[in-house]
Amino acid sequence: MHKQVVTRFAPSPTGHLHIGGARTAIFNWLFSRHNEGKFILRIEDTDTQRSTTEYTESILESLRWLGIDWDEGPYFQTKRLDLYRAYAEKLYHSGWAYYCECSPEEVERRRQEAFARGLKPKYDGTCRDKGLTPAPGRVLRFRCPQGGITVIRDIIKGSLVFDNSELDDLVLIRSDGMPTYNFSVIVDDITMGITHVIRGDDHVNNTPKQVLLYQALGESVPEFAHVPLILGPDRKRLSKRHGATSVIAYRDMGFLPEALFNYLVRLGWSYGDQEIFTREELVEKFTLEHVGSSASIFDMEKLRWINGYYIRKKSPQDLVDQLIPFLKERGYPERERSYLIRAIQTLQARCVTLSEMADAMDFYMVDEVKYEPQAAEKFLTPDTAGFLKDIIEAISLRDGQFDERALEEFFRRLADERGVKLKVIAQVVRVGLTGRTASPGLFEIMDILGKETVIRRLERALDYATAFQKSATSS
């Protein structure tokens, strides 16, 4: 009988959840779900000076927004200190750990001296055989084997070999009683029954130290899979200089959670040439064997393309709740939900983020549109004032239907009567209604705005064209 797969995601609450961390969380979540296992959330908050409740909440909010749920947790390391001390005692009493009284300044000075002589800048073992006991100001160090090799069989990277003589007698418990990262993480993984450690390959150098700690404690070693880093277009590690790096920032830019989730999975994992996956497909198909061993390049245009796909595929009814915060942010007046849904429908094919859609919604939302200077100069002129006057009069007198099909028939007939092309009249009306020359279909817009709003906006456009005529005459 196979052991149940147990994975974990263990962020530090010293910042918002960034893109690399989110992908690690997604890979762990998918692997556990694919194998019908367990996914645990752990908050590694032993860096008490930099860890904050605000960042913890931000991380949880980001995970929930991405649709990542957890079976256990969140566990907090600061609430598990007794457990780490118990394991530290075990290592001390079995001879695998010793107390060290060297000050940080002494240790650093000796490291620099070793480095200057071309030696490995590691702790020189001054206290290794002193037989010191616990006392204020002392740290507990691991007695690392000084010979032999440690072999890691990494699912993604293959076999990795480390010379033990190159490794340090790492600190397990600091002088203030707090455990170090490398120690607390293996105690947590042991006690939580973690079977697979999936994390970024910036942790590779920590792995041999952790494996030796597992062995010293007589515990079985989990399987490791180190995921290559995400790089910016300049092939340097993704950072703030490449733009937004946190999940919250992408949410606030108007990306959909399913689009970001889909994109991050494909950033390093592949299944043939398929680009778009449902959540169910990803759970079914995800394996670590299909994760590439080379770094991935973050491509904003690809993410925008995927987001545009999801925006087009969603129903306007589903999009409206996600769009409303963006409309409120812009200070637009409130509109009926049914009105917003109809407006969204006309913009789905034209926008790739919710932020772009909120900007494009302006002419639907405001009471008075702003004219683009070039559009007004070209189309709201003395030459078009006559058209506008006729159109306003005809629409005002019209008692029939005011829907898309009826409006198109009406405008075609009007163009024939005036002996002009439909597009000439259409552009004048478009600028009058939206303030710009590019928009969704004119008759769709008129249908949604309604007869009263259309007349009011065209009357204002006529006033503008007439004022233009007067100013041209007086000059």
Q: What is the DSSP string of 102-158?
A: --HHHHHHHHHHHHHTTS--S---TTTTS-----TT-EEEE---SSSEEEEEETTTE
**Chain centre to alpha carbon of residue 79:** 29
Count the neighbouring beta carbons within 10 Å of the beta carbon of residue 318.
Answer: 12
**Chain centre to alpha carbon of residue 210:** 30
- State yes or no: is 90 an active-site residue: no
Q: Which residues pair with residue 226 across a beta bridge?
A: 199
Name the 3-class secondary structure at 397: helix
- CB of 198 within 8 A of CB of 225? yes
Name the 3-class secondary structure at 39: strand
What token pair was written down for 281?
A: 């497909």
Count the neighbouring beta carbons within 10 Å of the beta carbon of residue 230.
Answer: 22
CB-hemisphere CA count at 13 Å for 409? Answer: 8
What is the rounded CA–CA span in Å between residue 265 and residue 262? Answer: 5
Name the 3-class secondary structure at 392: helix
What is the rounded CA–CA span in Å between residue 433 and residue 458? Answer: 7
Helix ranges, 286-353 (H)? 300-313, 316-329, 337-347
99-117: buried (b, 16+ CB within 10 Å) or exposed (e) per residue? bbebeeeebeebbeeeeee
What token pair was written down for 457?
A: 């906006």
- CB of 29 within 8 A of CB of 68? yes
Question: Residues with Cβ < 8 Å from 291, sequence gap 6 or more?
Answer: 27, 156, 225, 227, 268, 269
What is the rounded CA–CA span in Å between residue 213 and residue 217? Answer: 6
What is the rounded CA–CA span in Å between residue 429 and residue 453? Answer: 13
Tokens 């041999």: give the residue: 208
Count the neighbouring beta carbons within 10 Å of the beta carbon of residue 402.
Answer: 17
What is the rounded CA–CA span in Å between residue 224 and residue 242? Answer: 30
Name the active-site residue from 79, 240, 370, 470.
240
What token pair was written down for 340?
A: 């917003």
Catalytic residues: 240
